[in-house]
Amino acid sequence: MIKLKKWQYVLFGTIMALAMWTLVGVGTNLFTTDGVFEVFAYISSYILVLCFWGLAVFEFDISEGLRKAIGITLFALTPFFCMQISMMLAGKPEYSFLIFFINMMFYASFMAIILAATRSFRASAIAAVGASYLFNLACFVINILRGTPLIPGDILAIGTAAQVAQHYTFEMRYPIIAATVTAATVIALLVKFPYKPRFRFKNIILPVSGVLFAAIFAAAILVQDYSDIDMDFFDQYHANNTHGTAYSFYINARRMVLERPDGYDSTKAEALLKESGAPFPADADKPNIIVIMNESFSDLKSVGDFKTSEDYMPFTREISNNAIKGELLVSPFGGYTCNTEFEFLTGLSMGLLPAGSTPYLQYISKPFPSALPEYLSENGYKSVALHPYYARCWNREAVYRNLGFDEFVSMENMSELVPENEWEYVRYYLSDRTSYRTIEKYLETKEKSKPLFLFNVTMQNHGGYTYEGDEFPTVTITDMQGSYSEAEQYLSLIKESDSAFEELIMNLKNYGEKTIVVIFGDHQPAVEQAFYEELYGNSLLNLSAEDLQKRYTVPFVIWANYDIKEETGIKTSPNYLSDLVLDTAGLPKNAVGSFTSRLKAEIPQINVMGHYDAGGVWHENDVNESDSLRDYNYIEYYQLTNK
């Protein structure tokens, strides 16, 4: 017999069902992907909404035995339901049965832990479904916003993410709708048909069995060696589709630990460093060194050619007098600015660190004597960091102290140099011009006898690129099939950056002290994936690691207001760039810099995915196949651990 529940339940269930029905209906156009309408997902979503409504508003008068059987079945199937939600949000899952089972066991173990804590089959099953939904939703949404899914390092960076998240615009996709109605319906089933065991000692048996189950699974995966696992660590979206979101997240977390290299001995690293380095002459000519790591500064034509209404970086392309120009191969895409920053300031490479690691949040916890700021400060420079945003982002306050900066100017104290009423905002962030005015003010007021090293990390071009002000776009794409408003807004921002850079160079041409200015990007922007795929003429999923390197290329320029040897077409990476800067300034390098200067002759470009050799051939970063990489790995481990 079926009957209506009390009116309060009927009202609540009807409101919730209507909300989900509306969500599906309003999102009808979202169920079309690549020109194909997802009929099954669309109809299934409506059916699940009806099921939810029926479960929420009706009472089912069935026998206790049948209710118990349904409850046990639902509890047993909960890990399977969790995996269905995961697969909806993963994208294009291609699991083997073993991978599917391992991921399911993660959710089953989570259930077991909650069961041990609550002694409730219903609570543990609902918690597992909720956890699966929220975790996989987070992976999916972060992939929309940033171009890469959730990784363990994002947990450490949650404070930084919170600061910039408000400037991203969320875009609904149909998998979110399908997963939401699925999770809601499964939870409604678990509420409707709870299994409530009645046997002796259940308050002992349930906690013990739950802990035992989770412990057995934990022991099974903890003993596994993941150093050589066949997973795509550099395309986390693909990794989630081949290894599941739960399992790939766990593997990434395991591999984030900085492990002692095979054959490592601290004396070997010390010996390598003793072979390098040169004393800093007391009478060395010390020009001011201004380094600008410009947020998301890149030339998207490095991926593929396209036409625009006007050139978006004419000055950067044309500058040649007293300039050295080229391309950097960087490790991050669409975020993780601090990793490029780490490479430039330390001379170390993300290519030899665990995939997904964030040195600023994990490894730079004590003074770092070989860092560029400390090295220059020890030899007569004043080292200053400038960032026109919150000082706490990426733990910069602590990290900059450990790297040897004498002063850190952030948005919180910039007004001491440039009054706040003179600050200029572009979209939500302080403009590059405001950053550069601060640099000029510092040069105007600095002690004349003390050279300046100033490292500026800008904010103007930070994602997302969905600002709706009338001033954008100023640059439009004229020859591509798709419509890419985010890419156009980004290119318009780069035009602003290029103009601000030109103004800075013009202002410093006649500055009374020798001064070098360096500008480079930290990564390419996370604009529409379809934009990149049209430039490639292929899906990103079908590209090789070497093909993908076009998305990890950014320009750099070194300019001086005095005569220097001009060069173009240099291909290097951020860990080597500081060596080139010191060479340009005519200054000696410390032990790490001297080592990397020799290394780049053999390995001129390196990032987290691999490296190019001197002949331009792409290789994975295998320390067992390269003595130079092995030695670099020893030095890197020694520098980060002092052990």
pLDDT of residue 157: 56
Tell me, yes or no, whether 526 and 593 share the same domain.
yes
pLDDT of residue 3: 81
Residue 19 belongs to some domain of the structure: no
pLDDT of residue 557: 97
Q: Give residue 123's domain range.
A: 62-255
d(CA 270, CA 230): 34
User: Cα separations (Å) of 21 from 18, 43, 181, 631?
Assistant: 5, 11, 9, 61
Name the β-bridge partners of 611.
606, 619
Q: Which of 255, 277, 304 is the last residue of a domain?
A: 255
Tell me, yes or no, whether 180 and 307 share the same domain.
no
d(CA 138, CA 240): 13
Tell me, yes or no, whether 291 and 250 share the same domain.
no
Tell me, yes or no, whether 342 and 251 share the same domain.
no
CB atoms within 10 A of CB 149: 27
pLDDT of residue 428: 87
Residue with tokens 């909404």: 49
Residue 145 belongs to some domain of the structure: yes
Tell me, yes or no, whether 548 and 486 share the same domain.
yes
pLDDT of residue 235: 65
How far apart, in Å, do the first and last CA atoms of the chain sit?
73
Q: Which of 234, 255, 276 is the last residue of a domain?
A: 255
Of 330, 128, 164, 142, the closest CA to residue 240 belongs to 142
Residue 265 belongs to some domain of the structure: no
pLDDT of residue 374: 95
d(CA 529, CA 540): 8
Residue 178 belongs to some domain of the structure: yes
pLDDT of residue 161: 56
Tell me, yes or no, whether 356 and 419 share the same domain.
yes
d(CA 375, CA 589): 9
> HSE (CB half, 13 Å, CA atoms) of 522?
26
H or E element that contains 608: none
Residue 281 belongs to some domain of the structure: no
Tell me, yes or no, whether 213 and 296 share the same domain.
no
pLDDT of residue 314: 96
d(CA 133, CA 178): 11
Tell me, yes or no, whether 241 and 312 share the same domain.
no
Residue 360 belongs to some domain of the structure: yes
Give pLDDT < 50 ranges for the chain. Answer: none
Of 463, 564, 571, 583, the closest CA to residue 520 belongs to 571
Two tokens, residue 246: 């739960």
E strand residue ranges, 20-94: 32-33, 36-37, 58-60
Q: In this structure, are residues 247 and 136 in contact, taking their beta carbons and an 8 Å threshold?
A: no
Q: In this structure, are residues 578 and 603 in contact, taking their beta carbons and an 8 Å threshold?
A: no
Looking at residue 458, which CATH number applies to its domain?
Answer: 3.40.720.10
- Strand 32-33 with 36-37, pairing: antiparallel
pTM: 0.75
Tally of domains within the chain: 2
Tell me, yes or no, whether 295 and 243 share the same domain.
no
For 612, phi then psi, to 5°, come to: -100, 140
Residue 115 belongs to some domain of the structure: yes
Tell me, yes or no, whether 616 and 550 share the same domain.
yes
Residue with tokens 């500008």: 519
Tell me, yes or no, whether 329 and 201 share the same domain.
no
DSSP 473-501: -SS-B-S-SS--HHHHHHHHHHHHHHHHH
pLDDT of residue 232: 67
Tell me, yes or no, whether 234 and 292 share the same domain.
no
d(CA 13, CA 316): 60
DSSP 102-130: HHHHHHHHHHHHHHHHH--HHHHHHHHHH
pLDDT of residue 610: 93
d(CA 418, CA 430): 12
Residue 34 belongs to some domain of the structure: no
pLDDT tens digit sequence for 425-476 = 999 899 999 999 999 999 999 888 899 999 999 999 998 888 888 888 889 9
